[in-house]
Amino acid sequence: MIKKLNIFHTQEFRYPILKFPVLATGNEMWLGDGYYFWQDFEFAKYWGIDRKMNGIHRKYQIFVATIEFDEDDYIDTVFNEQDYCNFVSKVEKFANKYYEYFGEKPTLEEFNDFILDYSLWNNIKVIRFQDLPTNNRCLKVKDYYYKKRIQFRVNEPVIITNFVAH
């Protein structure tokens, strides 16, 4: 079954306006290289305010992206218990082996590199995951992070079927 979602991407304001999301790379990316999106507009907005105001225009821009994918090509670690448990199990199996050979904990990015380097899970095009809780501004209750800060990591550009400024 094909699933279609509209999700948010925040960047520094740029001219010309972005026509496609920016590929996130580097060691700070949770799940490694990919296109990252917010599920909720408010988190996209505060990400812009907190992290995307350093460009020359001193403002951020939010985009709405449409992603379309088969549900078989999707791992939902946020709302699907089986996906969550299986994903955690594989991450920890990898981490245990990695520790055995290198004497230190791996990063989640290294787990992602491992999956991609060995062409494992080739059909998985998008993962939904929960980012670290932060940002009291999104909460109506003081200091209790009852709201999940949900993101999507897309590793196959072809499933991004539309991208427009919000």
| Binding interface with other proteins (CB under 8 A) | 1, 4-8, 19-20, 23, 25, 32-34, 39-42, 64, 66, 70-76, 80, 82-83, 86, 90, 93-94, 97-98, 101-102, 110, 113-118, 120-121, 124, 155-158, 160-164, 166
Q: Closest separation between CB of residue 12 and other proteins, Å?
A: 18
Q: How far is the CB of 20 from other proteins (least distance, A)?
A: 4
- CA–CA dist 18, 73 (Å, integer): 27
Say how far apart CA 5 and CA 70 lie, in whole Å.
Answer: 12
Minimum CB–partner distance for residue 30 and other proteins (Å):
15
In single-letter form, the type of residue at position 117 comes to: D
> Measured from the CB atom, is 39 or 61 closer to other proteins?
39
DSSP 95-152: HHHHHHHHSSPPPHHHHHHHHHHTTTTTT--EEEEEPPP--GGG-SSTT---S--EEE
Shortest Å, Cβ 100 to other proteins? 9
**Helix (H) / strand (E) containing 60:** strand 60-70
Residue 25 or 54 with smaller CB distance to other proteins: 25
Q: Closer to other proteins at the Cβ: 14 or 93?
A: 93
Nearest Cα to Cα of residue 22 among 4, 5, 47: 47
Looking at residue 115, its amino acid is I
Q: Which amino acid does the sequence have at 64?
A: V
Q: What minimum distance in Å lies between the beta carbon of 152 and other proteins?
A: 10
3 state DSSP class of 59: coil
State which residue, 11 or 34, has the beta carbon closest to other proteins.
34
Nearer to other proteins, 12 or 76 (CB): 76
